[in-house]
Each structure stands twice: as structure tokens, then as C-alpha cells.
Amino acid sequence: MLKILHNPRCRKSRETLTLIQEKGIEVEIVEYLKEAPSVDELRSILEMLQLNPEQLLRKGEAVFKENFKGKDLTKDEWIEAMASNPVLIERPIVIKGNRAVIGRPPENVKELL
């Protein structure tokens, strides 16, 4: 089964979810702004994505600009910042087993289907 870290207000997230559902694939939907991933979950996701924490940040968000722009944080500090401020996490993230992709563009998810 697939899992999607989803924001229903995000067009790309909705498009990615629709693409999955149109294939008839069962998907667990996690509204990550309501159910923020833990520090350990974020570490696991970053490992699956093969990214460092800064590559998963949404740097255009007001929270980033007001609190983190220009700061040189460690990997653990960035992960904690995302766990505390899930709006900073790039979306959507689709997970299947031990693999994950960012659904930007939504077609990226096809490699997991």
C-alpha cells in the first residue's frame, strides 16, 4: 500500500493523490499538517528520498523566512524544525515500502506505481 503525506489545499498534492486513485491503488492519506511526522519518521523519509534535510525545506514559506532564513543549522536541527513546523516540509511525499518520492511534478509518483 502507498502512503501520501498530503496537504488538501495544495494543487500538486491533490493532483498526485488523484493520479494514484485513478490507478485504483489503495493509499493511506496522512494530512501531515494535522499529523506532523516525528523526528524519526522524517529521518526515515529523508533516507528513502536520499536527500539532506535542507533539500526537503519549503524555503518560500513565511515560517522559514521569519525564523530560519540565513541560519546554518545542523541536519538534526533542520529535522527538528520540520517536525515542529510541518509546513516547511516539501509536499506531497509518497511512500511505498522503503522507497519514497516527492510528487513535484505529480508524474514522479509513477515510479512507485
pLDDT (tens digit per residue) in 72-88: 999 999 999 999 999 99
C-alpha angle 102/43/41, rounded to 5°? 85
**In the chain, where do the E strands start and end?**
2-6, 27-31, 93-96, 99-102
Active site residue 10: yes
Closest CA to 107 of 24, 41, 22: 22
pLDDT (tens digit per residue) in 38-60: 999 999 999 999 999 999 999 99
Q: What is the pTM of this model?
A: 0.94
Can you give the pLDDT at residue 100?
97
Choose, from 1, 7, 10, 103, the residue flagged as catalytic: 10
Give the confidence band of 95 by pLDDT, cuts at 50, 70, 90.
very high
**Domain residue extents for the chain:** 2-112
The CATH number of the domain covering residues in 2-112: 3.40.30.10
**CA–CA distance, 54 with 37 (Å, rounded to integer):** 16
Give the confidence band of 25 by pLDDT, cuts at 50, 70, 90.
very high
